[in-house]
A and B are shown apart, each in its own frame.
Chain A
């Protein structure tokens, strides 16, 4: 049968405030599934014109799919969120790019005509599910030297990246990190972040973390506004003695969830749903696992090629700041300045946190809001590095674009 690919649009996206993993973190006593459920409910509340039964799929990513992140989260979270039982769901995993993959995979299916509307998002409660929980790597990785042992530890891969690009120094990384905190604080002051946050109720029974009883999260916990280069200079380098990667120039260990609503453009128009971004192309690419931080480079090359665009045509960048050096590597590749104003305008994961599989949609939320306020920009991209040597890039078009004036 003849088939026409349909345009796919990002209708809306929300997320929980991100928390610090661990016993003192705000979400220590909060279930992971509850975080994503509350995001899905918020999407429905924010889009009252959306008939829930029209949702064709719920794709939820998590890296560690056990316990409260297991049980086919897309399906169970859908039921718990109050979606009709007729709405199916599934779970997805590409580690840090989980939510991004949830978006791209379902978008592909929308374009193909299999879905009209989907919910795509991710969750990672790194306090309840620390990185590496329950993993059982095949011994051949080591015995056959398929990967260096450092590939298993993301911080070490970031150190490896500094080795590969000696001119990407710790000082540059720290400077980028300080700027990230500054930009994030400014974005908060300008109310750019809060409108897409879902308030989350918090219970604390142990006084170790502060006041006990029920509370409410309305802001990201990891942020450190006012961070200076001096603050960062003395931090430890946990992944290598006398190394360059510190807790200050990397994202922390975090808890949080995101969810987005994607639609075929014609369906969004039919239902009167907002169109915040239009999908142009996406690509994932693999690199040596020891330097997974360069993953965004080939992924971006591929995505640009598929879109027929050059890097100069990208007006806004949302690059996940798992590590400052990994952002710098991408910028360096394209000859973009470390402090280019098109890059991570609201700050990034170094400030907000990076709950692995949830982060992709956070990047999209921020790009969508930047599109809205910058109609002179036509294209933007969201990109991130992924464990075991991968990168993912999604290129978006600004529906508010005013044309070449």
Chain B
């Protein structure tokens, strides 16, 4: 280790005293077949596989010290090669993000980047060949350690391999951006670094790592290390020659970078810098100058670490990884009752989707009921068809398909069907009277302990329960469409809902693999309230005279998954108009009802735009009656963001959820709002909107932002 690197890492380590330190054990062995002495470095944080090995400054210093040792042995001719592998099931999952959150200065961030490079490049510069054995989960810096080695093998049992930095708001900054395209070509590098990251952090499996050319050999999990070492012996003895395809440094490289930009534009719409910084480095790596690439990585890493987008990304990651698993305010799970049979009232599309989900995840009988046999049969048929599709795709085998199909049945006779149901959910027409009637009928036939859940999106759960004998067993269970894709489930506590009902609801949510957030029984709960308020402001601007296209572009700098008008189209103008009406009823001073939208609904239009375009439908234009107050994009944006900030403040003051974090978690998992906004409150804080509108921040300084 050069004293400079040591000093760099010592300084970084001081800033991060709580690092979970990874050791780099050096052990010597004789390679099979008389191929000679070999030094194998094992990265191990001393904890079991549930605490994956990460890399912080002290860990880097440990690896550096291990490299000191093997470097000398290599020079002295004592060893023929050096390998790196991980503890059981884990290779290494990259930089310790807790340390990144603590960094306050650009130069400290740069030191992390440079420290990693300084240590890792030594793997490429030893006097003997180096081998990485990707034995288990490999991410970020873990992957990069291997990329610096001369050769790589990968286990067919490896479940997750990725360079997830862009997903969080960083670039692979310890060699990934420069090395990967030079190893496998720019197009495959773009797939791993950009495309996978921006697709919900998609992971590669061992076989794909091999097929992409990242690893030179693939071995089964049962004796992965033994076979890797045998292969190593054969390589060192010259019995195996590793041939990698030539990387295309021509137009293909530029085309790949271009493809990456399109992917980034499609996902973050230019609103978050990480993907573009990574692409710039990949583009520059075309000349094969690694040193230059590494310097660019360090620079980008430091810039991004000091960016609000990255801090929001880390905050968002923590929400979906941690907070989502321990919902704030959920009662003890010991209170939850077992659910061995589920009833679904309604057999329409939503009800059928719910029936299928319950059957698949809970694997208990699910009975769909409706008002006539035809509807019931259609609902059951939908579930059975979906199960057949799963069978065709190989997602379930025939036995499982048989089991699931047998679980989903239909009935017109609630009394018999629900007599032994523990959990009944209704998904009937969104009208209080109808729902109250349904619950009264259900209560008359279900067992004493049964939970009654409603999938209402905007009606009061308390009111729905008010006429029941046991209102304490009613709970709101609000899914988001498409149910199979959006993870959020708003669990609504009515005035009288008891802890047992709530605990059971959270237990069911967990089995459904949903992200459950506890919400007070307030109008439209969280996601629909925020979206409706925001959409309402955009529509108001249009009603007052701002051109649709201008208003619709106003939010583009946020990089939301869709523009306001696209959102309106997805929700459906009729539903949006209905929910706006409900909220207008509750909060007339803040939620308007757009007469123009009313006319669009009346005319039966599904969108404001011509199909597949962002061009106003002339028939819609015809319907519009607008004022003469024309706002700019900035003005619309300011108005919409201000409205969101105001609404969230009011929701927090009214204790609709426990904390701002829950609002963000809802928006990320229920509306797909991006990590770089941290949901929304980190963005409102860093843009000064919250201070301007509500005179205070949502989150403490340093939370989702660079600490002072």
Contacts and interface: CB of A to CB of B under 8 A. Distances in A.
A216 to B, nearest CB: 4
B42 A214 contact: yes
B220 A82 contact: yes
Contacts of A215: 27-29, 40
Given A199-B32, A219-B30, A214 B85 contact: yes
Given A204-B27, A213-B40, A38 B225 contact: no
B588 interface: no
Given A81-B222, A212-B42, A199 B28 contact: no
Given A211-B25, A212-B25, A214-B85, A38 B32 contact: no
Contact of B32 (A82, A210, A214, A218): A218
A213 B226 contact: no
A219 B29 CA distance: 11
Q: Which of A81, A198, A200, A214 has the most CB of B within 10 A?
A: A214
Contacts of B30: 216, 218-219
Contacts of A213: 25-27, 40-42, 44
B61 interface: no
Contacts of A224: none
B42 A201 contact: no
B229 interface: yes
Interface in B209-234: 220, 222-223, 225-226, 229-230
A201 B695 CA distance: 62
A37 B222 CA distance: 8
Nearest to B233: A199
Given A211-B28, A212-B25, A213-B26, A82 B85 contact: no
A211 B29 CA distance: 10
Contacts of A198: 226
A204 B42 CA distance: 10
A82 B220 CA distance: 9
Given A213-B44, A214-B40, A214-B42, A38 B226 contact: yes
B585 interface: no
B288 interface: no
A302 interface: no
Interface in B349-372: none
B88 interface: yes
A204 B25 CA distance: 10
Contact of B226 (A200, A203, A205, A210): A200
Interface size class for chain B? Answer: 20 to 34
A342 interface: no
Nearest to B40: A214
Nearest to A37: B222
Contacts of B222: 37-38, 41, 80-82
Contacts of A219: 30
B229 A199 contact: yes
Among B23, B29, B44, the one with the most A-chain Cβ atoms within 10 Å of its Cβ is B29
Contacts of A82: 220, 222
Contacts of B31: 216, 218
Contacts of A80: 222
Interface magnitude class on chain A: 20 to 34
Interface in B5-52: 23, 25-32, 40-42, 44, 46
Contacts of A204: 27
A198 B220 CA distance: 16
Contacts of B87: 203
A214 B223 contact: no
Given A37-B222, A80-B222, A218 B27 contact: no
B28 A41 contact: no
Contacts of A216: 29-32, 40, 225-226, 229
A212 B85 CA distance: 13
Nearest to A200: B226
Contacts of B230: 199
A218 B220 contact: no
Nearest to B32: A199
B27 A214 contact: yes
Interface in A174-226: 198-201, 203-205, 210-216, 218-219
B27 A211 contact: yes
Contacts of B46: 205
Contacts of A203: 42, 87-88
Interface in A67-94: 80-82
A80 B223 CA distance: 11
A204 B220 CA distance: 22
A201 B32 CA distance: 11
B381 to A, nearest CB: 34
Contacts of B88: 203
Nearest to A198: B226
A212 B223 CA distance: 19
A402 B46 CA distance: 59
A204 B88 CA distance: 12
Contact of A41 (B27, B32, B40, B223): B223
A211 B37 CA distance: 14
Q: Which of A41, A200, A201, A205 lies at the interface centre, i.e. has the most chain B CB atoms within 10 A of its CB?
A: A201
A26 to B, nearest CB: 11
Given A212-B42, A213-B41, A213-B44, A199 B226 contact: yes
Contacts of A214: 27, 40, 42, 85, 225
A211 B226 CA distance: 18
Contacts of B42: 203, 212-214
Contact of A201 (B41, B44, B220, B226): B226
A200 B230 CA distance: 11
A212 B230 CA distance: 21
B597 to A, nearest CB: 60
Interface in B76-97: 85, 87-88
Interface centre among A38, A198, A218 (most CB of B within 10 A): A218
Contacts of A201: 223, 225-226, 229
A201 B31 CA distance: 11
A209 to B, nearest CB: 11
Nearest to B29: A216
Nearest to A204: B27
Contacts of B223: 37-38, 41, 201
Nearest to A210: B27
Contacts of B28: 211, 215
Contacts of B225: 201, 214, 216
Contacts of A211: 25-28
A219 B41 CA distance: 21
Nearest to B86: A214
A241 B222 CA distance: 47
Nearest to B220: A82
A86 to B, nearest CB: 16
Interface in B81-118: 85, 87-88
Interface string B453-491: 000000000000000000000000000000000000000
Nearest to A201: B225
What are the 9 tightest A-B residue pairs by CB atom distance, in nearest-first order? A213-B25, A213-B42, A201-B225, A211-B27, A213-B27, A216-B29, A212-B25, A215-B27, A215-B29
5 contacts: A38-B226, A199-B230, A213-B42, A213-B44, A214-B27
Given A38-B223, A213-B27, 6 more contacts: A80-B222, A201-B226, A211-B25, A213-B41, A216-B29, A216-B226
Interface of A: 37-38, 41, 80-82, 198-201, 203-205, 210-216, 218-219
Interface of B: 23, 25-32, 40-42, 44, 46, 85, 87-88, 220, 222-223, 225-226, 229-230
